[in-house]
Amino acid sequence: MLSEFNNDTLADMIKANPELENIIQTIAVANKKTTSMFVHELRNPLALLKGTIQYIEMKHSEVKEYKYWDQIEDLINDMERIMQDASALNIMNLPNKEDINLITLMENIISNFMPQAITQNIELKMIVAPDSNAHFTNYHCDAGKLKQVFTNMIKNAFEATKSGDFIHIELSHLPRTADSPSKLSITLSNSGQPIPEEALERIFQPFVTFKKGGTGVGLALARKVIDLHYGSILVTSNEELTTFTILLPV
């Protein structure tokens, strides 16, 4: 993953030399092809292994009584899921950017979640900081991928909250400083169950999850999408508030 510093540097370099982004995308395409070939080559022997096990069960049903037999199928299913997740991460390598209204995009997402918020008695609202509208209404980005990120993160917030809690989203513009370029700030905060301290450092790593039934891919995808926009994503969490902060270059 690119660090926030490197992403800031890349954003400035691309602004000065737009052709640089084409070079980065060419490298990303090559990487995507390599990963796709690797996953494809793994699928073939795994399918044969799965078929062989099913054939053994059909011919020798007594193997189902063996103590560790079920674990073999579980391990194969785990491998299939990991390859599916790897493919999902690989798809995120190439953004399809256009000028969009990020405020409208977020309003539409919130509208979709509003029935759930009302039913569960959770306060869901968005705040746009004064004088920030103009920076969000014509932003060059991959709308589909960012929509997936925001949708997943709000979904996660609902899973962490209960009746009486809140989910707040704030959009603001951070002017350029001596140490940092101009950025858009999107924060998603909730007053629900905090993230365990031991999870905070690894929460964006692929296949790492601290949630029952989780795959460890959702936040890794979010990090990848934000990296593709040369931004950064951070998280803080305590007993009172959990906040994800997404910073995107202007």
Res. 242: pLDDT tops 90? yes
Q: How many CB atoms lie within 10 A of CB 93?
A: 18
Q: Report, as an integer, the average pLDDT of 239-249.
A: 94
Q: How high is the pLDDT of residue 205? A: 80
Which of 130 and 16 is assigned the larger pLDDT? 130
Question: Residue 187: which of 211, 216, 206, 167 has the closest Cα?
Answer: 167
Contact by Cβ (8 Å): 49, 57: no
CATH number corresponding to 98-249: 3.30.565.10
Res. 168: pLDDT tops 50? yes
Tens-digit pLDDT profile for residues 17-48: 777 667 766 766 666 666 667 676 777 788 88
Q: How many Å is the Cα radius of gyration of the chain?
A: 22
Q: How high is the pLDDT of residue 124? A: 96
Q: Which range is most confident: 17-21, 40-44, 190-194, 204-208?
A: 190-194
Contact by Cβ (8 Å): 187, 174: no
Res. 103: pLDDT tops 90? yes
**Domain limits of the chain?**
19-91, 98-249
